[in-house]
Structure 1
Amino acid sequence: MAHVRTYGTNVKIGNWNEDLRAREDARKAYQQRKERGELAAQKVDFLKENILRPVDLSGTRDGKLHFGDVVMLVNMGGENRKCSAVSINADIYSARKSPSPGIRSPCGISAGLDIQPCTRTAFVITSVDDSPEGSTLCFEQSFALKTTSGFARGLYLTSDLLNFQKCAKKSHLQEVMLDDCSSFLSWWKVVHFNPQERLENEGQPVPANMKVLIIHCKTNQALATLGDQVLWTTYGKEYEVTAHTFLDSHKAERDSNHWILCTSDPGNGLVLFNHPNSAANQNELPLANPDI
């Protein structure tokens, strides 16, 4: 018996009505999410628009660091690292729009390769011992590092003793993060990077734009960036930041623990890359990341 065609090409078969309604509901839901700014691409744009907003660093009035100064924490790199700066590692799940735009705490940090002063990389030197704003920061003096107000919400750079439940994601060393609570866990101190000169510099003003160690007061571990522990973030490839002292064969801290509290040079950008006496030029290290 020959095959008999029982319907034409314009006949709707199966659960066509349900499929049509499902597609229409999905389109409406997408449009509503788009109007509310809830699409992933919109959240990324919102985050970057706010967290990458330029910030003016403090100028070098007398070549020293002061309470209230806005600085960047820059590591000039080494054998397996490029020049990087301590940065807020916020993603779309860390950002909020209400009740006011900002990042949620606790929030992670990383060492970003984009050495530009912005909300993400700017930190305020904050007193913890009632030192007046504008007074000079001295070696071995306790202080706090706080993000700027506004979108960064003034969070404190914080660390605590290493344990099984709380450690850095990649290296499993002592974790460093941002929290909204000011406590002894957020106290740091600056130490001269040369062990042979620490005693004579104790209590002396800390110079800006020169290599120093940043030590966590509670755990006595130095802030470090790890070139062999790579994080893939919303902002690209970055390094993990931890609190751990790395010593060489002479019992001196390695360059992964060396930091520069960088200020601005009016009209010329960062002092770090423009001043002839800066640590960057003295060490003859690369001044910029060619991949940026």
Structure 2
Amino acid sequence: MAHMRTYRTNVRIGNWNEDLRLEEDAKKEYLEKKERGELFAQKVDFLKQNILSPVNLTVTTDGNLHFGNVVMLVNMGGEKRECSAVSINADINGLKKIPSPCIQAPCGVSAGRGIQACLRTAFIITSVDGSPEGSTLRYEQSFALKTTSGFAGGLYLTSDLQSFQKCAKMSRLQEVNLDDGGSFLSWWKIVHFDPQERLEYEGQPVPADVSVLIIHCKTNQALAVLGHHVLWTTYDKEYELTAHTFLDSHKAEQDNNHWILCTSDSLGKGSVILNHPQSAANNKELTQANPDV
């Protein structure tokens, strides 16, 4: 008797009906999430679209920093470290929807190499001692750095003493992050980058767009960027931020601790430092020549 096939190749076998239902359910769930904007790619696009939206930095008329100014905190880089700016390091899990979409606290920060004035890099110089908005910020005067309101959440750049439970993820140094509420942990002060000039400049107005040190008031540690600790973020590979004073052999702070509070070009072409990078290299001569600016 010749061999006969008992079924054709298109005969369904096994739990074909159950597999078909599961496939249909998965497709239906996918379409529903897509319609609600809940797919991972959609969430990432929504985050980037909002947090990377442009922000106008303050244009200074007298060359000094004032309370209420919107600035970027830029480190000009160093050995094996590119120019970078203090940036909100939020991911899709750090968003809250009620009452309106915004970044929730606590939120991490990093030093992003994509230097642009946007919600992610803009900070407002905020008074903590009752100084009125518009008044001049002075060396050694306490202040806070606050993100813009709205999507950025109006959060404060904050730090606290290093502990086993609370420290920077990679370096294990003192952590810096964003939190709500303007407590003493969010108080900072600016000192002259040259240790030999600090007493002379104490109480003087702080010029915009020159290198300074940003010191945490409670711990007396300087804000620092770590070029040898690279973080993988939603935005790209970026440097870790910490509050730690790095001293050289002459007891002077290294370029990891040097920051420029960038304002906008008076011509409306963006950051002064990015348009005129030589101003960063020459800031020492400028400040020495004009100690009262």
Identify whether the pair has TM-score above 0.5, normalized to the shorter chain: yes
Deviation (angstroms), 1:278: 2.0
Cα offsets for 1:154-180 (capped at 9, x unmatched): 100000000000000010000000001
Q: Does 1:273 align with 2:274?
A: yes
Partner of 1:59: 59
Partner of 2:35: 35
**Identity level (%):** 76
Q: Does 1:256 align with 2:259?
A: no
Amino acid at match of 1:269: G
Deviation (angstroms), 1:99: 2.4
The answer on whether the counterparts of 2:157 and 2:186 sit within 8 Å (CA) in structure 1 is: yes
Partner of 2:23: 23
CA distance in 2, matches of 1:77, 1:247: 16
Cα offsets for 1:78-130 (capped at 9, x unmatched): 00210000000011111233320101110000000011100000000000000
Q: Secondary structure at the match of 2:167?
A: coil
Q: 1:276 to 1:181 in 2, by over 3 A?
A: closer
Q: Secondary structure at the match of 1:4?
A: coil
Partner of 1:242: 242
CA distance in 2, matches of 1:203, 1:44: 45
CA distance in 2, matches of 1:5, 1:274: 79
Q: Secondary structure at the match of 1:265?
A: coil
Specify every segment of 5 or more residues in structure 2 that has no aligned partner in the other structure, as ranges.
285-293
Q: Secondary structure at the match of 1:269?
A: coil
Cα offsets for 1:176-221 (capped at 9, x unmatched): 0000121000000000000000001000000000000000000000
CA distance in 2, matches of 1:30, 1:281: 56
The answer on whether the counterparts of 2:57 and 2:270 sit within 8 Å (CA) in structure 1 is: no
Q: Secondary structure at the match of 2:27?
A: helix
Partner of 1:286: none
Deviation (angstroms), 1:235: 0.7
Partner of 2:77: 77
Q: Does 1:118 align with 2:118?
A: yes
Q: Secondary structure at the match of 1:264?
A: coil
The answer on whether the counterparts of 1:73 and 1:259 sit within 8 Å (CA) in structure 2 is: yes
Deviates more, 1:88-97 or 1:37-46: 88-97
Alignment of 1:1-292 (within 5 A): 3-267=3-267, 268-275=269-276, 278-280=279-281
Deviation (angstroms), 1:276: 7.8
CA distance in 1, matches of 2:231, 2:8: 58
Deviates more, 1:120-129 or 1:262-271: 262-271
CA distance in 2, matches of 1:18, 1:230: 47
Deviation (angstroms), 1:3: 3.8
Q: Secondary structure at the match of 1:72?
A: strand
Deviation (angstroms), 1:270: 1.2
CA distance in 2, matches of 1:259, 1:151: 25
TM-score by length of 1: 0.94
Deviation (angstroms), 1:29: 0.6
CA distance in 2, matches of 1:91, 1:53: 16
RMSD between aligned residues: 1.4
CA distance in 2, matches of 1:108, 1:205: 30
TM-score by length of 2: 0.94
Amino acid at match of 2:185: L
Cα offsets for 1:45-91 (capped at 9, x unmatched): 00000000000000011000000000000000000210000000011
CA distance in 2, matches of 1:5, 1:275: 82
Deviation (angstroms), 1:9: 2.8
Q: Secondary structure at the match of 2:93?
A: coil
Aligned residues: 283
Deviation (angstroms), 1:281: 5.7
CA distance in 2, matches of 1:98, 1:38: 15
Amino acid at match of 1:196: Q
CA distance in 1, matches of 2:232, 2:20: 40
CA distance in 1, matches of 2:142, 2:174: 20
Deviation (angstroms), 1:153: 1.0
Q: 1:3 to 1:153 in 2, by over 3 A?
A: same
Deviates more, 1:32-41 or 1:137-146: 32-41
